[in-house]
């Protein structure tokens, strides 16, 4: 029996008197696609910050690929195979698409190699960068400045950056936020086509996107897990409708 790729046990995070994450437990099986939904301020991004190690929890435990990482640095969690994207666009606007991707590839690769950098090492980074751009149909845009790319392209590039280190677990924080309907469907399709071995947790406000991509859905409300189940179970759960419609 395989252990979950992500296991969160009784996780809590307080900011002063505010309980942003409250006694939250989750398990993601290898290859699973999990949507995490919930109203603004429910604690979704905080949960990602705890999983990635940006924040340390007030209490509780986090395991990645069967290994406890509750107090492990973000860098070491990344080295284990965790990657994330951010709710807010995070590219270098004045660097080209190629340079943005190259930096991500290099950042993840230098950990694995010595300080000695023959020319062949640089070529290997360039090759990987072009491969990623090719896979995502963006090679012809390699020379464009990041700030001149469409919003939809920028969000795709963020996913490419997260994939640069071949992660086994990918956390996507609202990958379609601010996108037009056409861009949303392009990004949704790109996520759907990701290697099925990659386990994905996806925070999403767009229910159509969440329900289209997820195997299971976890619903957060005031930092706690309100409901969890298959897409159809969550769609039919009156408590979920209540928190989205009741609070308006």
Ligand X SMILES: Nc1ncnc2c1ncn2[C@@H]1O[C@H](COP(=O)(O)OP(=O)(O)OP(=O)(O)O)[C@@H](O)[C@H]1O
For ligand X, the binding residues (CB under 6 A) are 15, 18, 20, 38, 40-46, 87
94 binds, among Mg ion, ligand X, none (CB under 5 to 8 A by kind): none
Q: Which is nearer to ligand X, 33 or 221 (CB)?
A: 221
Q: Which is nearer to ligand X, 38 or 152 (CB)?
A: 38
d(CA 36, CA 248): 20
Residue 19 CA, chain-centre distance (Å), reads 23
Structure tokens at 157: 């590039």
Q: How far is the CB of 34 from ligand X (least distance, A)?
A: 15
Q: Which is nearer to ligand X, 42 or 160 (CB)?
A: 42
20 binds, among Mg ion, ligand X, none (CB under 5 to 8 A by kind): ligand X
229 binds, among ligand X, Mg ion, none (CB under 5 to 8 A by kind): none
Q: How far is the CB of 74 from Mg ion (least distance, A)?
A: 18
Q: Which is nearer to ligand X, 97 or 203 (CB)?
A: 203
Asked whether 210 and 35 are in contact (CB, 8 A), the reply is yes
Residues shown for the chain:
248
Q: Which is nearer to Mg ion, 13 or 44 (CB)?
A: 44
Place of tokens 């939904």: 37
Q: How far is the CB of 60 from ligand X (least distance, A)?
A: 15
Residue number closest to Mg ion, CB atom: 45
Interface residues with Mg ion (CB under 5 A)? 44-45, 87
156 binds, among Mg ion, ligand X, none (CB under 5 to 8 A by kind): none
d(CA 213, CA 103): 29
Q: How far apart are the first and last CA of the chain?
A: 44
Q: How far is the CB of 19 from ligand X (least distance, A)?
A: 9
Q: How far is the CB of 209 from Mg ion (least distance, A)?
A: 15
91 binds, among ligand X, Mg ion, none (CB under 5 to 8 A by kind): none
42 binds, among Mg ion, ligand X, none (CB under 5 to 8 A by kind): ligand X
Strand partners, 190: none
Asked whether 218 and 16 are in contact (CB, 8 A), the reply is no
Please give the full DSSP string across 181-245, using - where no structure is assigned: HHHHHHHHHHHHTS-TTSEEEEE-S-HHHHHHH-SEEEEEETTEEEEEEEHHHHHT-HHHHHHHH
Q: Which is nearer to ligand X, 125 or 220 (CB)?
A: 220
Q: How far is the CB of 140 from ligand X (least distance, A)?
A: 34
> CA-CA distances (angstroms) from residue 27 to 9, 106, 210?
9, 31, 18
């Amino acid at each position: 029996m395989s252990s979950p790729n992500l296991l969160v046990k009784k996780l809590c995070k307080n900011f002063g008197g505010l309980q942003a994450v409250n006694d939250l437990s989750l398990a993601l099986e290898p290859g699973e696609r999990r949507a995490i939904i919930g109203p603004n301020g429910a604690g979704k991004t905080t949960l990602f910050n705890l999983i990635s190690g940006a924040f340390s929890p007030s209490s509780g435990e986090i395991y990645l690929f069967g290994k406890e990482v509750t107090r492990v640095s973000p860098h070491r969690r990344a080295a284990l195979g965790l990657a994330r994207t951010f709710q807010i666009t995070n590219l270098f606007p004045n660097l080209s698409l190629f340079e943005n991707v190259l930096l991500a590839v290099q950042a993840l690769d230098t950990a694995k190699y010595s300080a000695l950098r023959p020319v062949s090492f640089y070529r290997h980074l360039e090759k990987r960068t072009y491969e990623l751009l090719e896979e995502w149909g963006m090679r012809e845009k390699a020379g464009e400045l990041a700030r001149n790319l469409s919003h939809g392209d920028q969000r795709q590039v963020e996913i490419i950056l997260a994939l640069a280190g071949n992660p086994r677990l990918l956390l996507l924080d609202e990958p379609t936020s601010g996108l037009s309907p056409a861009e949303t469907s392009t990004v949704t399709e790109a996520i759907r086509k990701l290697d099925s071995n990659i386990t994905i947790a996806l925070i999403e406000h767009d229910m159509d996107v969440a329900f289209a991509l997820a195997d299971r859905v976890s619903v957060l409300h005031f930092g706690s897990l309100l409901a969890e189940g298959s897409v159809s179970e969550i769609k039919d759960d009156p408590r979920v409708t209540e928190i989205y419609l009741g609070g308006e």
